[in-house]
Amino acid sequence: MPNLRIRQAAELLGVSDDTVRRWINHGTLAVGLDGAGRKVIASEDLAEFARTNAPAPPPDPLSIGSSARNRFIGLVTKVTSDAVMTQVEMQCGPFTVVSLMSTAAAQELKLQPGSVAVAVVKATTVIVETARPSTAVASD
C-alpha cells in the first residue's frame, strides 16, 4: 500500500497539516520516512486511525429506526422547485448531498433552507474510484 505525505493525510481526514503533525508528535499516529527522509504515513495505518478516531455522528433528529446505514444528518441549503420536481441541496458536514424528489413530497416535508434533515442513501450501486498508480503524486 502507498505511503501518504502529511498534507495528503490531512486532506483525507478533513483536518489541518498541523493537526496531523500534532498527532504524530503525541504518538497517536504512526509515521515513517520515505527515501528522501520526509515523514510519511502508511495508508493502512491512516485507514485504521480514521476508523478508530471518527467523530460520533450528530444525534439523529428523527429518532427513527432504519435499515439504511448511510444516513447523513445535515442542513438544507437550497430548494429549487418547478411544478413537478424539486432539487434539494443539503450540507452534511463537509459533504453536499443533492436529492431530486417530487415537488409534492418536498412540500409535504416542508423542506426549506435552514431545515434540519437526514439524507438516507440506500443503493444497490456504489461506484468506487481510485487514482491510476502512474497519476498518484505525493506532495507536501
Amino acid at 103: T
The predicted pLDDT at position 115 comes to 85
- The full length of the chain comes to 140
Amino acid at 8: Q
Q: Which domains does the chain have, with CATH numbers?
A: 3-52 (1.10.1660.10), 70-121 (2.40.50.100)
Rg of the chain (C-alpha set) = 20
Q: How many CA atoms lie within 13 A of 113 on its CB side?
A: 5
The predicted pLDDT at position 137 comes to 52
What is this structure's pTM? 0.59
For cell 493502512, the residue is 44
> Is the pLDDT assigned to residue 52 strictly greater than 70?
yes
pLDDT in tens, 87-108: 999 988 778 889 999 999 999 9
> Is the pLDDT assigned to residue 84 strictly greater than 60?
yes
If we measure between CA atoms, which residue out of 71, 68, 79 comes closest to residue 109?
79
> Is the pLDDT assigned to residue 7 strictly greater than 90?
yes
**Cα gap 29→49, rounded to integer Å:** 7
> Is the pLDDT assigned to residue 1 strictly greater than 70?
no
The predicted pLDDT at position 134 comes to 60
Q: Compare 29 and 127 and report the one with higher pLDDT.
A: 29
The predicted pLDDT at position 139 comes to 52
Instruction: Name the maximum alpha-carbon separation found in the chain.
Output: 61
